[in-house]
Amino acid sequence: MDDAGLSTVLFAMIAGAIRVSTPFLFVSLGECLTEKSGRINLGLEGTLVFGAMSAYAISYETGSPWLGVLVAGFAGMMFGALHGYICKLPKVNDIAIGIALMLFGTGLAFFFGKAYIQPAAPRLPSIPLGWWSDNPQIRQVMDVNPLFLVGAVLAVAMWWAFKNTRLGLVVRTTGDSAPAALALGVNVNLVRFLATAAGGFLAGVGGSFLSLFYPGSWTEGLSSGQGLMAVALVIFSRWNPLACFGAALLFGAAGALGPALQSIGISRGYHFFNAAPYLMTLAIMILSISPKRSLKGAPGELSITK
């Protein structure tokens, strides 16, 4: 690989990170919040797909993509609330409910989404942050979606809030030790219910990015497991919202690797490069397990760590 090729690939990976990372970011922030409260919601893949469908449908019907984003968020919140409510019941396994909701969300989205595959809905606008450059490619890459910026700010805000606010402390306590939270007079179930609902909201918004910005249309194969990968990403980032942001960028860049290498003529073994995000998920899982200790930074109440 010569220098020009290398810089093309690096450029494409940075561009890919900015373009592709937003759904990862929102889903992983949502999952981070839910897991911090002591529950795992594996259903976010379904929430993501349903969010994508509902955002596209609302944008098409009303002409307002932002309304679509909002509706996707609320639809996601409903799924989160459902998960939160069912898991409150005794002897219910949150992982099993998550998988059920994942299938339910995707199925429901396909069912209602039939009518919206054909029409073209108004898409979200982008903010041209590339005004400083004369290079059209850079300008193209820097046409950033506002949701990406919102996600970045949200990551910092959540990181700060977990550390410094009473609310953050309540969520963390609930996630680390339910008895301690009870002793403090915290309603554990309510906190988890709200955290899961809020997490669903974020995942729904992440889905709206897929259908309304990039790749920017609703089809049934829209999500290729982003919602599930985001769950792995939370573990990778050790339940730290700031690290979630970094990990989302990294996953976005990994997804751009395959096409970018082929575009500069390195096309042998493209199957391997195309699989980069999934290989990375697998590698992360392998690297982060140990039979001797629970994961560093893991909330103590999580059913996988208990």
Partner 1 sequence: MFTRKFDRRTILKGAGIGALGLSTGLSSILPARAAGLTIGILYVGPRDDFGWNQAHAVAAAALKQVPDVTVIEEENVPETISVAQSMESMINLDGASLIFATSFGYYKPFVLDMAAKFPDVKFRHAAPLWTEGDPANAGSYFGYLDQAHYVDGIAAGLSTTTNKLGFVAAKPIGTVLRNINSFAIGVKKVNPAATVQVIFTGEWSMPVREAEAANALIDAGCDVLTCHVDGPKVVIETAEGRGVKTCGHNASQAPLAPKGFITGAEYKWETIYKDYAAKVAAGEDLPNFIGGGFDKDFVQSTPYGAGASPEAIAAADAAREEVKAGKPIFVGPVKKQDGTDLVAAGASLDNYDPALDQTDYLIEGVVGSIT
How far is Cα 299 from Cα 235, in angstroms, rounded to an integer?
11
> Does position 122 bind partner 1 by CB under 8 A?
no
* Per CB under 8 A, 85 contacts partner 1: no
Out of 7, 93, 165, 267, name the contact with partner 1 by CB under 8 A: 267
DSSP structural state of residue 115:
G
DSSP E strands in 240-288: the ranges are: none
**124 in contact with partner 1 (CB under 8 A):** no
If one asks whether residue 189 binds partner 1 (CB under 8 A), the answer comes out as: no
Query: What's the angle, vertex CA 14, arms to CA 216 and CA 33, rounded to 5?
Result: 70
Where does 45-170 show beta strands of DSSP type E? 127-128, 143-144
Burial (Cβ within 10 Å: 0-12, 13-18, ≥19) of residue 167: exposed
For position 107 contacting partner 1 by CB under 8 A, the verdict is: yes
Per CB under 8 A, does 83 bind partner 1? no
Determine if 263 is a binding residue for partner 1 (CB under 8 A): yes
Contacts of 290 (CB under 8 A, 6+ apart): none
Q: Check residue 269 for interaction with partner 1 (CB under 8 A).
A: yes
List the one residue from 219, 246, 288, 305 that touches partner 1 (CB under 8 A).
Answer: 219
Smallest distance from partner 1 to CB 264, Å: 7
> Is residue 279 a contact residue for partner 1 (CB under 8 A)?
no
Interaction between residue 89 and partner 1 (CB under 8 A): yes
Angstrom distance (rounded) from CA 147 to CA 72: 13
Segment near partner 1 (CB under 8 A); pick from 35-43, 58-66, 179-187, 250-258: 250-258
